[in-house]
Amino acid sequence: MTTDTTTTQWLSDAEATARLGAALAATRPAHAVVHLLGDLGAGKSTLARALLRALGVQGAIKSPTYTLVERYPLSAGGEAWHLDLYRIGDAGELEFLGLDGDEVTLWLVEWPDRGRGGLPAPDLVVELAVERGGRRATLSGASPAGAAWVDAVGAGQGVAAGS
């Protein structure tokens, strides 16, 4: 299997985004790093929330826009860390966030380019773009586990409306 597996899905509304989050949750590997790409307002935090909710996270799921990192215990064990690196100047600033936890089983990283060199390599890259009144989500496997993940989500046949 190659690591360049890619699929594109059309997300017509918030429900379609929630379905994609649920599909990602249902098929995710035990340990994964997800890089979320897209302009401001493209839906990165919305997709991260949908994925975390589908993994059983209860209560408020806050955007890490100002805190830079939010940690969530997962019902299946381990933690998910949701990072928003928009406000950092360079990867050296990651040192102050204490991102060396062995308990992390899922990394969700918005604006990963700002942390280049200081983050684990991605398994999955999700690029979101506002388009035609909805969003286009392109999922690319960046590791063997990520490629298998993309294949598994694609096998869900129409996880997102209009895909």
What does the pLDDT look like over 100-137, one tens digit per residue?
A: 767 789 999 999 999 888 888 999 999 999 988 899 99
Tell me the residue ranges of DSSP E strands in 38-123: 69-73, 79-84, 104-110
Q: Which long-range contacts (CB under 8 A, 24 or more apart) does 156-159 make?
A: 156/23, 156/27, 159/9, 159/19, 159/20, 159/22, 159/23
- Look at domain 6-154 and name its CATH class: alpha beta
| Listed residue (56, 109, 59) closest to 85, CA to CA | 109
Report the pLDDT value the prediction gives residue 4, as an integer from 0 to 100.
Answer: 57
53-88 confidence digits (pLDDT tens): 999 998 889 888 878 889 999 988 889 999 999 988
Neighbours of 7 (CB within 10 A): 16
What average pLDDT does range 135-155 have in this prediction?
Answer: 93
Query: What is the number of residues in the chain?
Result: 163
Q: Could you give the CA distance from residue 77 to residue 56 in angstroms, rounded to a whole number?
A: 11
CA distances from 84 to 19, 90, 121, 153 (A): 22, 13, 16, 24
**Does the predicted TM-score (pTM) go above 0.75?**
yes
Q: Could you give the CA distance from residue 145 to residue 57 in angstroms, rounded to a whole number?
A: 23
What average pLDDT does range 48-56 have in this prediction?
Answer: 95
Q: Could you give the CA distance from residue 99 to residue 124 in angstroms, rounded to a whole number?
A: 19
